[in-house]
Amino acid sequence: MRTLGRKTTTAVLAATAVFGSLATAGTAHADSVPAVQVEVCNDASVQQKFWVKGYNQYNDWDDSPVWTVNAHTCATGWGYWWKKNASVELHYKRGNAGWNWKPGYLPRTDAATTTLRLS
């Protein structure tokens, strides 16, 4: 009877180790996936809002939340990773104006971020 209990316990621990590691996969980062975070630099003299749409680190077509970048500063879309060597859509809004967008390219790089510029 002890052998059966020991085998059951061993099987449960092994399954927990395998499936537990899958369920608790960490946040993606540049070392583990071919992806970067996008930094947007605002060259205009007015605050702008932006969001990014493109293929994420899982190769899913996705979009980010809206972020704000102040005049003559840069802002990084933390926590969102985008596929390297791919195009993205950079949607932006100057002050009270309507939304616009422009294409952006994320090159293959060793850096953790790629910079896109708004003027």
The hierarchical CATH code for the domain 35-118 is 2.60.40.3820
Note the Cα 31 to chain centre separation in Å.
Answer: 13
Domain boundaries, the chain: 35-118
pLDDT of 6: 57
Q: Each residue of 16-34: pLDDT tens digit? A: 444 443 333 334 454 566 9
Separation CA 108–CA 60 (nearest Å): 18
- Contacts with 4 (C-beta within 8 Å, 6 or more apart), sequence order: none
Whether the model clears a pTM of 0.75, i.e. scores above it, the answer is no
Separation CA 32–CA 83 (nearest Å): 12
